[in-house]
């Protein structure tokens, strides 16, 4: 199977992860306004499963090092299966809760709370499990990235007309979503062998772990996403019949493409984790907020006509992101 041999390549893959995690949501922007997020999310989850399977049967089954994808899956013990699967279940509800919180309280409130908590908690938990890298540089970088996320939220706050109510409900949902998002990566990491070339018996290689994780996302959709379909936070409720009767081939392909993009990022993050360490891999991946902001600024023109002074906030945000992510990278050198 394909295995990363050095830290420099691992960082490169983590940067691709950041690009993927910050870009997948553009697929949802490309759908029609009548195609609600819960319907889009079904295709997204299918895309995640498909990409993880393709990677497993190709990159995870080539070469002489490591363990073949199919063999690896059948030798895994119940603990590894449960841990990777639970990672998908936890990620799924966390992702949906953060989207719901944004619908209630707005980007400027829900996003920094949810993603900020996820970043700090995720890096801390994964560093405690596998302490790789200089903790001072690593957590200084995390702190600066959190500041950048807050600046990003301030810029969005200036952009909106404040139609959202910063209700306690939205804040509570943001906090819960952020905590869950901070834990999902550790569940997947726990199912994996520390040595990819000579994997331990009962534990998975990253390709199998991500595939089981993707099944956790898809199957838990029947619980989590079904709830949001029939009890929407925003907009009208939708049904399974709507998915099959209102969805065009183009709409379904766009959603699947979004899931493929996200899963490329997840797969590369896990493949890079042996050399980079789980904390650094996760921390760099959460730099996706900068990528998403770049899409909003340069492609979707979300800040066009924004109040005076917003540009200064945007420049500061990018600067803080670059400095923070650089510290995270250099914490391993």
| Residue owning tokens 């690009």 | 19
Cβ contacts of 155 within 8 Å, gap of 6 or more: 303, 306, 310, 313, 314, 317
Give the C-alpha separation, 289 to 152, whole Å.
9
Walk along the chain (333 residues) in steps of 10 and give the mean pLDDT of each run. 96 98 93 91 98 98 94 97 98 95 80 92 97 97 96 86 65 94 98 96 98 98 96 88 95 97 98 97 95 92 88 96 97 91
Check residue 303 and give its pLDDT: 87
8 Å CB contact between 244 and 92:
no
- H-type alpha helices, the chain: 7-21, 26-29, 37-57, 69-75, 78-105, 107-129, 135-159, 168-190, 206-220, 224-230, 240-246, 249-276, 278-285, 288-294, 310-330
Check residue 298 and give its pLDDT: 93
Check residue 304 and give its pLDDT: 85
Task: Confirm whether pTM is higher than 0.85.
Answer: yes
Give the C-alpha separation, 265 to 271, whole Å.
10
295-319 b/e (C-beta count within 10 Å ≥ 16 → b) = ebbeeeeebeebeeebeebbebbbe
Check residue 103 and give its pLDDT: 82
Distances (CA, A) of 67 to 85, 201, 202, 277, 298: 20, 10, 12, 20, 43
Distances (CA, A) of 281 to 70, 118, 138, 258, 295: 25, 14, 11, 21, 22
């Amino acid at each position: 199977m394909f295995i990363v041999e050095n830290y420099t390549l691992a960082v490169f893959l983590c940067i691709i992860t950041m690009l993927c995690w910050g870009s997948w949501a553009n697929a949802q922007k490309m759908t029609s306004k009548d195609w609600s997020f819960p319907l889009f999310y079904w295709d997204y989850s299918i895309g995640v499963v498909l990409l993880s399977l393709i990677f497993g049967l190709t990159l995870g089954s080539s070469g002489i090092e490591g363990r073949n994808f199919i063999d690896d899956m059948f030798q895994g013990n119940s603990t590894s299966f449960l841990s990777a699967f639970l990672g998908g279940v936890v990620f799924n509800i966390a992702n949906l809760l953060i989207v719901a919180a944004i619908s209630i309280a707005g980007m400027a409130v829900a996003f920094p709370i949810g993603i900020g908590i996820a970043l700090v908690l995720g890096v801390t938990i994964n560093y405690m499990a596998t302490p790789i890298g200089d903790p001072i540089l690593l957590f200084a970088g995390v702190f600066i990235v959190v500041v950048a996320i807050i600046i990003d939220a301030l810029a969005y706050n200036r952009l909106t007309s404040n139609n959202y109510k910063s209700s306690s409900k939205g804040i509570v949902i943001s906090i819960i979503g952020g905590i869950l998002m901070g834990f999902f990566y550790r569940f997947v990491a726990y199912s994996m062998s520390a040595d990819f070339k000579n994997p331990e018996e009962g534990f998975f290689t990253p390709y199998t772990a991500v595939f089981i994780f993707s099944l956790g996302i898809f199957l838990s959709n029947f619980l989590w996403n079904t709830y949001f379909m029939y009890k929407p936070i925003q907009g009208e409720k939708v049904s399974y019949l709507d998915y099959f009767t209102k969805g065009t081939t183009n709409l379904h392909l766009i959603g699947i493409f979004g899931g493929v993009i996200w899963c490329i990022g997840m797969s590369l993050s896990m493949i890079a984790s042996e050399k980079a360490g789980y904390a650094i891999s996760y921390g760099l991946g959460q730099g996706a907020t900068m990528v998403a902001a770049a899409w909003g600024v340069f492609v979707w023109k979300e800040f066009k006509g924004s109040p005076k002074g917003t540009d200064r906030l945007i420049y500061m945000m990018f600067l803080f992101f670059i400095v923070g992510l650089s510290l995270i990278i250099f914490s391993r050198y």
